[in-house]
Amino acid sequence: MVKGPGLYTEIGKKARDLLYKDYQTDHKFTLTTFSPTGVTITSSGTKKGEFLAADINTQLKNKNITTDIKVDTSSNLFTTITVDEAAPGLKTIFSFKVPDQRSGKVEVQYLHEYAAIFHSTPKLETSSNAMLELACQKVDLIASLTLNNKEVSHSFSSNENTITVGAQHSLDPLTTLKARVNNAGKASALVQHEWRPKSFFTVSGEVDTKAIEKTAKVGLALALKS
């Protein structure tokens, strides 16, 4: 079980996953393999039009220390080191990117039965957010409406607000249907099927209901774990 009230960054995560997770209009392939020594290697490639982006992520776990190293096609090297439970309830995360020498970052998370503390360097950012989250769940159906700085966007140039609502339905234990729509008329839907344990095939689409014949987009994603 998660200790305490949880971190502020986790507030609304279920709603954000419902509205944004797995939606895409590109073609993506992901392959994850595990070795007996505890090394996990994940290779992924995404085709966006004529452009192909790829990366390889290697994860090594040794007791309470997890090291993630990712290299992408732009020759960027991302490294994250997570030390979990160095002390009861304490997690420390070190991350940096090469060749960006200013990308070094340290995060400290502390979860207590009655409190949660999050601190990040080189700078600590705080913000004030208004949030309204409405959710209902009944057996295999989940519906959610979240109003915060991510799900409601405001354009100063046009002075317009955009509100997104979404729903999720389990067609069967292995197949999930999701859909979302915003007040501007942009609608998206996806079907995700777990055809083998932890391996998913996802078909998603997006369309502007005001110009269906010009805006329809379809994305495919295949994630394999072996």
Q: How far is CA 9 from the centre of its chain?
A: 12
pLDDT of residue 38: 81
Q: pLDDT (tens digit, 9 = 90+) per residue, 129-158?
A: 444 444 455 555 555 454 544 455 555 555
In sequence order, the 6+-apart residues with CB closer than 8 A to the CB of 56 are 41, 42, 43, 70, 71
State the pTM of this model.
0.71
pLDDT for res 152: 56
pLDDT at 49: 81
- Report pLDDT digits (tens) over 38-65: 899 999 999 988 888 999 999 999 889 9
Distance CA 35, CA 73 (A): 24
Tell me, what's the pLDDT at 155? Answer: 53
Domain limits, the chain: 8-13+25-121, 132-225
CA 225 to chain centre: 18
Long-range contacts, stretch 5-9, CB < 8 angstroms, 24+ apart: 5/114, 5/115, 5/116, 6/111, 6/116, 7/109, 7/111, 7/116, 7/118, 8/116, 8/118, 9/118
Parallel, antiparallel or unpaired: strands 141-147 and 90-98: unpaired
Q: How confident is the model at residue 125 (pLDDT cuts 50, 70, 90)?
A: very low
